Amino acid sequence: MQQRIAYGKVAPGVLQAMFGLKTYLDECGLEPSLLDLVLIRASQINACAFCLDMHTKEARAKGESEQRLYLLDAWRESPFYTERERAALAWTEAVTLITNGHVPDEVYEQARQQFTEKELVDLTLAIVAINGFNRLAISFRTEAGTKQH
């Protein structure tokens, strides 16, 4: 697979805007480990190799367990996630797959039991941001493994 466009080079403002979202999210108060799971889960759904490579490496570097990363795609059947993480993952899937019947009331209610209104807005922004990054990377074929840490 060959990269189509190095979008960050030809339109640096795009990365500035996207990193502005990341800066906000880094400071919003949501747990970094929860955000890592959300970024990885959305990237799994979207099959974004670049983002999966980058975010799993980052999560490992922050101390996330291999077991939780390996089982993330099967989080419903795995005992290794908290109720708050489960609510975030269900919300991530519903927002990422929004064309599959929008966000169900049941998923919203589950999320509201675990998150304040502000936290849920911030969580949704994290999902919006990673879906945007996934679409940029996939559309322009950003090669996995090229992000250095």
Question: pLDDT of 4-23, one tens digit each?
Answer: 888 888 998 999 999 999 99
Q: What are phi and psi of 56, to 5 degrees?
A: -70, -40
**Owner of token pair 């890592």:** 36
Give the closest residue to 113 by CA, choosing from 96, 90, 132, 129: 90
Domain definitions of the chain by residue range:
31-139
Euclidean distance between CA atoms 74 and 99, whole angstroms: 21
The DSSP call for residue 143 is: P
**pLDDT at residue 137, as a whole number:** 93
Q: How far is CA 62 from the centre of its chain?
A: 16
Question: pLDDT of 77-135, one tens digit each?
Answer: 999 999 999 999 999 999 999 999 899 999 999 999 999 999 999 999 999 999 999 99
Given a cut of 80, is residue 146 above it in pLDDT?
no
Q: 31-139, which class in CATH?
A: mainly alpha
**pLDDT at residue 147, as a whole number:** 63
pTM for this entry = 0.92
First to last CA, the chain: 22
Better pLDDT: 149 or 87: 87
Q: How far is CA 1 from CA 143, 144, 148, in A?
A: 7, 10, 19
**pLDDT at residue 82, as a whole number:** 98
Average pLDDT value for residue range 64-77: 98
Given a cut of 50, is residue 149 above it in pLDDT?
no
